[in-house]
């Protein structure tokens, strides 16, 4: 992803204050600070950049609930992170920030450019990004305001909640609409590197090459929703219209508006270091559950482990909830970062790294599951090919530096990984003998690929499939949940979801309801 200059960044930040709400009041449907008009060339990049910050927030939430982040020694007061005794005050920001900033701005772009042939590309990009964000909301909260959301100017200040499955269906249709819009567009105003911090590397190419990247991104989001709502023998109807000829993202979809030390990547600012060079967080270490996929006893993965974890394999790790024996972090070192020869690689590469929205590895594993279950023609052989391509894509991302250059050939690393784990079907999928084992391998490798990058998606897939396998009470390497979990309603002792935010109780009380986070499931969660 090409770096954008600081004038572009400054313009985007300025538009953040003009086109997005900064009110302390949490009405998601009205933005009293919005400018009456703004150029979509300026609104789109700031909205995409705000979406990257949202992605980081969801990653942190998924890291805690999805079994990647544990409490470190020397700290106390973790509260609900250990017990899972959730309240409506928990994770309010996921709701309010998603609606108030990027979704509000994307709606502005859609409304301003709908039917305007000269701005078809801006309209389609805003629709695709809206799909991405509404998926985040549905996968976290279930039913959410959708058809009446963000319509405060029309008097709809207390929006009704739409059925989550119906929202998914409309989001799938929106992906189709955006793909078709781009395909049929007459040449209008092009997206440039300045207006498109997501696919800026294609901005100098022909328009069809640049916008095809957006089409493939939309097609990947559609594939994700279709896979998530299908079961073997019962493929979602939308698979009949899935454009497999168009295909899916072939490289990581990464937002980069020109992050640098004084304007750092949001994940680096959360889990790496401050602008002044101090550690941003010293109270968390990896869970033993996730670490066991790299340093055993589940899997040996030196190639990725040494890029992800400081001082691998001697990285401090812990069972979530264990406060008596919790190890402290490595002093003055970023935990989820390679060290020594592998510094500047892995998850936290540095302040100038881009912020991933969807990994190419995830796209390959989605394809693998679709092949395996017959949603797409190809069968087991195609599933195994996509599976191995997913592992390779994961290595590729981790061996990228801040400039998104892959620093060494990963094929030998992948070959070594598979040979080291020969016979372990979670890595060597040819050793799997059943469809269930192949699916377990696919989802387990997806979980590994998403570690502290898009952790919320790993949590979603765990809830949907039950993979990777967890053994409640089975010890720190095999139990995904906190040992202080108070949840008994679900086999894995994890929350099924978070609660609707307290802001909705205050500002949308007629539609707000208290949900049971111990048993109420998101609609695609069968367990």
Interval 489-507: pLDDT, tens: 999 999 999 999 999 999 9
Answer yes or no: are the C-beta atoms of 81 and 87 closer than 8 Å: no
**Preceding peptide of 297 cis, ω within 30°:** yes
What the block records as the tokens of 310 is 């400081």
For residue 392, the model assigns a pLDDT of 98
pTM for this model (two decimals): 0.93
Q: Is 461 exposed, middle or buried (0-12, 13-18, 19+ CB in 10 A)?
A: buried
Q: Is pLDDT of 445 > 70?
A: yes
CA distance 467 to 451: 14
DSSP 378: T
Q: Is pLDDT of 486 > 80?
A: yes
Long-range contacts of 185-192 (CB under 8 A, 24+ apart): 185/117, 185/120, 185/121, 185/124, 185/211, 186/117, 186/120, 188/117, 188/118, 188/119, 188/120, 188/121, 189/41, 189/118, 189/119, 189/121, 189/122, 190/121, 191/44, 191/121, 191/122, 191/125, 192/41
For residue 189, the model assigns a pLDDT of 85
What the block records as the tokens of 122 is 């801006």
Q: Which CATH number fits domain 1-73+83-267+490-527: 1.25.40.390, 1.50.10.100, 1.10.3080.10, 3.40.50.12280?
A: 1.25.40.390
Q: Which of 26-35, 50-59, 97-106, 341-350 has the lowest mean pLDDT?
A: 26-35
Q: Is pLDDT of 98 > 70?
A: yes
Collapsed DSSP state (helix, strand, coil) of residue 495: coil
The pLDDT tens digits of the residues spanning 264-318 come to 999 999 999 999 999 999 999 999 999 999 999 999 999 999 999 999 999 999 9
Q: Where are the alpha helices (DSSP H) in 272-359?
A: 288-291, 302-308
Mean pLDDT for the stretch of residues 91-98 = 96
For residue 131, the model assigns a pLDDT of 98
For residue 178, the model assigns a pLDDT of 98
Cα angle vertex 289, ends 266, 55, to 5°? 20
Mean pLDDT for the stretch of residues 439-457 = 98
Where does the pLDDT of residue 329 fall: very low under 50, low under 70, confident under 90, or very high at 90 and above?
very high
CA nearest to 432, candidates 449, 415, 448, 445: 445
The b-or-e profile of 61-88 (16+ CB within 10 A means b, else e) is bbbbbbbbbbbbbeeeebebbbebbbeb
CA distance 213 to 248: 9
The pLDDT tens digits of the residues spanning 342-359 come to 999 999 999 999 999 999
Q: Is pLDDT of 118 > 60?
A: yes
For residue 5, the model assigns a pLDDT of 46
Mean pLDDT for the stretch of residues 450-472 = 98
For residue 206, the model assigns a pLDDT of 67
Strand partners, 263: 260
Q: Give the E-state strand segments of 201-349 in sequence order.
A: 253-255, 284-286
Residue 39: phi and psi, rounded to 5, are -70, 130
For residue 17, the model assigns a pLDDT of 36
Reported residue count of the chain is 527
Cα angle vertex 338, ends 336, 341, to 5°? 170
For residue 36, the model assigns a pLDDT of 55
Q: Is pLDDT of 20 > 90?
A: no
Answer yes or no: are the C-beta atoms of 238 and 226 closer than 8 Å: yes
Q: What is the mean pLDDT of the chain?
A: 92
For residue 16, the model assigns a pLDDT of 41
Decide which of 443 and 205 is more confident: 443
DSSP 34: -
Mean pLDDT for the stretch of residues 104-124 = 96
Q: Where are the domains of the chain?
A: 1-73+83-267+490-527, 285-346, 360-449
Decide which of 28 and 112 is more confident: 112
Q: Is pLDDT of 184 > 70?
A: yes
CA distances in angstroms from 411 to 206, 247, 400, listed in the order given = 31, 23, 14
């Amino acid at each position: 992803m090409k770096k954008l200059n600081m004038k572009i960044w400054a313009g985007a930040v300025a538009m953040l204050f003009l086109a997005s709400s900064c009110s302390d009041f949490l009405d998601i449907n009205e933005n009293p600070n919005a400018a009456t008009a703004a150029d979509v060339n300026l609104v789109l990049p700031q909205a995409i950049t705000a979406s990257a910050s949202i992605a980081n927030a969801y990653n942190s939430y998924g890291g805690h609930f999805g079994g990647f982040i544990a409490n470190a020694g020397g700290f106390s007061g973790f509260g609900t992170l250990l017990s899972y005794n959730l309240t409506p005050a928990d994770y309010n920001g996921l709701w309010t920030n998603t609606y108030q900033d990027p979704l509000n701005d994307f709606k502005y772009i859609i409304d301003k450019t709908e039917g305007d042939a000269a701005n078809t590309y801006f309209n389609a990009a805003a629709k695709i990004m809206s799909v991405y964000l509404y998926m985040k909301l549905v996968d976290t909260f279930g039913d959410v305001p959708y058809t009446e959301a963000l319509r405060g100017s029309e008097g709809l200040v207390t929006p009704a909640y739409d059925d989550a499955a119906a929202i998914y269906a409309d989001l799938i249709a929106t992906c189709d609409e955006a793909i078709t819009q781009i395909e049929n567009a007459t040449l209008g105003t092009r997206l440039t590197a300045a207006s498109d911090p997501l696919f800026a590397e294609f901005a100098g190419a022909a328009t069809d090459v640049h916008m095809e990247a957006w089409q493939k991104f939309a097609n990947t989001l559609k594939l994700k929703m279709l896979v998530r709502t299908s079961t073997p023998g019962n493929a979602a109807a939308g698979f009949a219209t899935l454009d497999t000829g168009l295909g899916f993202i072939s490289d990581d979809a990464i937002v980069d508006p020109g992050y640098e030390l004084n304007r750092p990547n949001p994940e680096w600012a959360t889990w790496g270091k401050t602008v002044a060079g101090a550690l941003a967080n010293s109270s968390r270490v990896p869970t033993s559950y996730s670490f066991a996929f790299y340093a055993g006893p589940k899997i040996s993965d030196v190639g990725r482990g040494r890029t992800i974890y400081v001082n691998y394999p001697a990285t401090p790790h812990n069972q979530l909830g264990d406060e008596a024996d919790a190890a402290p972090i490595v002093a003055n070192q970023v935990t989820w970062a390679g060290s020594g020869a592998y510094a500047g690689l892995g998850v936290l590469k540095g302040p100038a790294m881009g912020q991933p929205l969807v990994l190419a590895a995830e796209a390959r594993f989605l394809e693998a599951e679709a092949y395996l279950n017959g949603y797409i023609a190809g069968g087991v052989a195609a599933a195994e090919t996509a599976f191995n391509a997913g592992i390779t894509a994961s290595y590729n991302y981790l061996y990228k530096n801040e400039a998104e250059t892959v620093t060494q050939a990963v094929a030998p690393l992948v070959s070594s990984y598979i040979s080291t784990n020969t016979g372990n079907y979670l890595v060597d999928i040819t050793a799997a003998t059943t469809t269930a084992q192949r699916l377990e391998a696919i989802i387990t490798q997806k979980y590994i690929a998403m570690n502290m990058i898009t952790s919320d998606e790993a949590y979603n897939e765990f809830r949907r499939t039950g993979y990777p396998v967890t053994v409640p009470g089975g010890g720190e390497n095999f139990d995904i949940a906190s040992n202080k979990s108070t949840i008994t309603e679900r086999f894995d002792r994890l929350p099924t979801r978070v609660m609707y935010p307290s802001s909705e109780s205050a500002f949308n009380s007629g539609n707000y309801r208290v949900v049971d986070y111990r048993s109420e499931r998101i609609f695609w969660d069968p367990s």
